[in-house]
Structure formats: structure tokens, C-alpha cells
Amino acid sequence: MTTPPLVLTIAGSDSGGGAGIQADLKTMLALGVHGMSVIAAVTAQNSLGVQGYWELPPEAVRAQLDSVLGDIGAQAIKTGMLASTVLVETVAEVLSGVSVPVVVDPVGVSKHGDSLLAPEAVETVKARLLPLATVVTPNLWEVEQLTGVKVEGEDDLRRAADAVLALGPKWALIKGGHLPGEPVDLLTDGTAEHRFTAERLDNRHTHGTGCTLASAIASYLALGEDVPGAVRQAKDYITGAIAGGFPLGDGIGPVDHSWRWR
């Protein structure tokens, strides 16, 4: 038996199953890699929003990291909701010793506008986590939270990317989905520049989009793609998943992680 590529997600649990660790593992399964998880926080969450969250103790997060990386290892790592300063520091300390690609989804707020990162932890993400990132995948709100740059049109994307790159990641993927008009994402390492467009889909069931995209990028990196290739394929996957998004509960439903099977 051949072992598939190994991808580790370090993130929060979403009890509604549409985002977070649950979305990450579904994405990894759909793309043919073996997903593993380090749970940093537990949310009480459904289609209407986040009703509460509880961080795990740093020693529990550290033990999960040591357990997985010490025995199994990983070909790529993705980080999502890390919640607090001490958890960001704990994860950054471990990741500073790994040599595989790291995809950082700098989760600051949920789809419903609920805060998932303590305000005082933003500086730690900037100082400790982003310099370790192979790719960082902020949306426009997260760009502003991290850099102060407000993106109001496609012309602002490069300025936003340069501000993010100044914090130390190798590549920045600025997600322009919240801009008016046709959505454009900009990927750059400061030299090469790639723009990804997709049609705007008339579907409000988009819960888990950011987690899913970052996990797909990590999965394709583990499968041997370079960064632009991984992002291109991940974009194709998330576009199909958004198109297949379905209603759930009374609020915003999730993207369909298994759209290719259905």
C-alpha cells in the first residue's frame, strides 16, 4: 500500500461542519491527501453564527503538534483559527523548526462577522507566524487588520500584497472576492504576479470558503505543485465547491466539499 501525501491542519473546530478543521479534512480527503489535525480551539457554531469558542490549553496544542510531527510528519501544513497570543506563539515555535510548505490563513473573523482572534494576538501573527508562511491567504478585511491597507478596487490589490509581503511570507494571495464586479485574486511573491478570476456565483451558501481554499492549496503543495500551480488548482476546486454550496439550518450554508463526487 502506498501512503498518500500527508497534510496537517492546525485550526479550530466548527461544530456545524462547514468551516474550520472539518472543512480542512473534507477538502484533504476530496483532493486525495491524508489529512491530520491539531485542534487549537472549539467553537459552538451553526449556520447563524458563532455562539462561543473555547481555546485549548497551549500544552494540549503543543502535545498534538509533537505527537503528529514527531511520529508521522507532514508534506504541508495549514494554519487557521489560532484564537490567542499564546496559541499563535506555541504554533509558531513549532513551525519555525519545519522545512515543509506552510499555508497561513490568518483567520480574524467568521463569515458572520464574529471575531475569532483576540485583538492583542494580531501583532503576534504579524511578528511570529507570517514570516514562516510559504503562502498567506488573507481576505480584504484581514489585509486591513494586518497592514492597515484598505482595498477598495482591483488597483489596490498589489499595494495590499506588498504590505503583506513586508511582514515576511514568501507569497501573498490577496482574495478580492468582496470587491464589486468580477472577483479577482492576486498572488505574488513580489516579483512574479498571477491574477485569478472566476465568475461571481449567485449563491449565498459560502461558509468555509477561506478554510477550504487554504487547505486545498496545502493539499496541492503536498502533491508536488509549485505555489502558482497549487493556487490555480485550489481556485478551480473552491469555485466548484461554491457553485455546489447548499442550504443548511436557517442561515448561511456551507460550500460542497464533495462536489466532484456528486
Residue range 96-137, pLDDT digits in tens: 999 999 999 998 766 666 667 777 888 899 999 999 999 999
Active-site pick, 20, 210, 245, 253: 210
Mean pLDDT of 224-234: 98
Active-site pick, 175, 176, 245, 253: 175
C-alpha grid cell, residue 152: 477598495
Quick check: is 208 catalytic? yes
What are the DSSP E strand ranges found in the chain? 6-14, 34-46, 49-55, 76-79, 102-104, 135-136, 171-175, 184-188, 193-197
Quote the pLDDT of residue 79. Answer: 97
Of residues 135 and 205, the one with the higher pLDDT is: 135
Measured between alpha carbons, how far is 195 from 90 in angstroms, rounded to an integer? 34
Cell numbers 466548527 correspond to 14
pLDDT at position 202 over 70? yes
Residue range 48-61, pLDDT digits in tens: 999 998 999 999 99
pLDDT at position 220 over 70? yes
Quote the pLDDT of residue 55. Answer: 94
Active-site pick, 208, 244, 245, 253: 208
Mean pLDDT of 157-182: 92
Measured between alpha carbons, how far is 114 from 76 in angstroms, rounded to an integer? 28
pLDDT at position 82 over 80? yes
Alpha-carbon dihedral angle through residues 136, 213, 143, 13, given to the nearest 10 degrees: -90
Quick check: is 210 catalytic? yes
pLDDT at position 14 over 90? yes
pLDDT band at 92, cuts 50/70/90? Answer: very high
Q: What is the mean pLDDT of the chain?
A: 93
Active-site pick, 134, 209, 212, 239: 209
Mean pLDDT of 16-39: 97
Quote the pLDDT of residue 111. Answer: 65
Of residues 222 and 181, the one with the higher pLDDT is: 222
pLDDT band at 229, cuts 50/70/90? Answer: very high
Q: Where are the alpha helices (DSSP H) in 53-178?
A: 58-71, 85-95, 122-124, 140-147, 157-165
Residue range 150-159, pLDDT digits in tens: 998 888 999 9
Quote the pLDDT of residue 107. Answer: 84
Active-site pick, 211, 239, 244, 245: 211
Quick check: is 111 catalytic? no
pLDDT at position 11 over 90? yes
Quote the pLDDT of residue 114. Answer: 64
* Contacts of 233 by beta carbon, 8 Å cutoff, 6+ apart: 216, 220, 225
Measured between alpha carbons, how far is 199 from 201 in angstroms, rounded to an integer? 6
Quick check: is 206 catalytic? yes
